[in-house]
Amino acid sequence: MKSNIFTFLKSFFLIFIFSNVIAEEPRFYIPDSPPIAAKSYVLMDHNSGKILAGENENERRSPASLTKIMTSYVIFKRLKEDFISLDDEVKISEKAWKTGGSRSFIEVGKMIKLEDLLMGMIIQSGNDASVALAEHVAGSEGTFVLFMNDYAQEIGMTNSRFENSSG
């Protein structure tokens, strides 16, 4: 009889303990997301392609310097294809020299190594360097923009349309 009561109490005690453990709230804290000041954004998981967060992600917006990411993409693609080389000497046109906004301060008529222009575009966000690179790769910025839009379509940027190489 003693062992039956002991077994019953032991079982009751274990059930009581485990039921409290299971019903207990998680002991970790997940903070709220920080506020995002952007008018539109999208965050996508690279591996799954699943959209994790977004607001006004399909709203048409001027991408500003993000355009230089596509310009860089085209330049690196053409480098990979051996169409151009980092050692190419690029002649700076008057159009590139006159381009407003953020600048690398390149001088008209000068010959500058493609690698240096690429750094000026990426690091300094140089609009003048972007135009000089576009002209070197495609003959004109307008033709270069055709490459940008073609590549954008290829990688699924169906709601994007580029109008220049600098943003």
What is the Cα–Cα distance from 90 to 139, expressed in whole angstroms?
11
Q: Which of the residues 65, 72, 140, 160 is marked catalytic?
A: 65
Q: Which of the residues 68, 102, 130, 166 is marked catalytic?
A: 68
Q: Which of the residues 93, 104, 125, 166 is marked catalytic?
A: 125
Active site residue 68: yes
Which residues have C-beta within 8 Å of that of residue 35, sequence separation ≥ 6?
none
What is the Cα–Cα distance from 60 to 34, expressed in whole angstroms?
24
Active site residue 11: no
Full DSSP string of 54-77: EESTTS----GGGHHHHHHHHHHH
Active site residue 2: no
Instruction: Just list the catalytic residues.
Output: 65, 68, 125
